[in-house]
Amino acid sequence: MAYYLNLMAGDCIMAVGVVGYEGLTFLEGAFTMYENILVPLDGSANANKALDVAVEFCKVFHAKVTALSVIHHIKDDSDALSSDIYKGLSTKAHKIVESCRDQAWNQGVTINGVVEDGNPKQKIVEFAKENDIDLIIMGKTGMNAFDRMILGSTTNHVVRESGTQVLVVNA
């Protein structure tokens, strides 16, 4: 399976490339140098594929890659239940980040892992702005069934609102 990319940034030179099992190969043109890449993770197959692509980009651009998992917790009326749910979501988010760090490490790449609280749509955009992210590589859809039917609402929001280049990956 290959991914065809057309990457443009303002007045940068366009690059056309192919990402596949053999890594990243540029077919023509020059390319923009990426220094800070963000990969939002939710445990979905698309997010895991986005991580694989980010690892390949890291190898080519020698970029810093940050894996971000956002705990999206909606508080309810029961503090005890809310606390238990939050702990479960937090544990899951940390496991996702740790697993992805291990996955990247096994491919010879060190990535930073971050877990944040809040609305994933907003947190991804905020994190990108606050941390000078050059490129966001994320899955087409996330974990829920509705998102899998169309371009995910989180992905759609990030593409529209981030002001950063976004590479959307489909597993």
The rounded distance, in Å, linking the Cα atoms of 118 and 143 is 17
Whether residue 83 is contained in a domain is answered as yes
Chain segment 74-118, per-residue pLDDT in tens: 766 666 557 888 889 899 999 999 999 999 999 999 999 999 999
Q: Are the C-beta atoms of residues 45 and 170 closer than 8 Å to each other?
A: no
Whether residue 52 is contained in a domain is answered as yes
Chain segment 128-167, per-residue pLDDT in tens: 999 999 999 999 876 555 444 444 688 889 999 999 999 9
List the structure tokens of 51. Answer: 């991580």
The rounded distance, in Å, linking the Cα atoms of 46 and 63 is 21
Whether residue 11 is contained in a domain is answered as no
The rounded distance, in Å, linking the Cα atoms of 110 and 115 is 17
Whether residue 154 is contained in a domain is answered as yes
Identify the pLDDT of residue 97. Answer: 95
Identify the pLDDT of residue 84. Answer: 82
Whether this model's pTM surpasses 0.85 = no
CATH of the domain at 129: 3.40.50.620
Chain segment 46-68, per-residue pLDDT in tens: 999 999 999 999 998 899 999 99
Task: Give 111's Cβ-side CA count (13 Å radius).
Answer: 33
Q: How many domains does the chain have?
A: 1
Identify the pLDDT of residue 152. Answer: 62
Which residues form the domain of 148?
A: 33-169
Whether residue 90 is contained in a domain is answered as yes
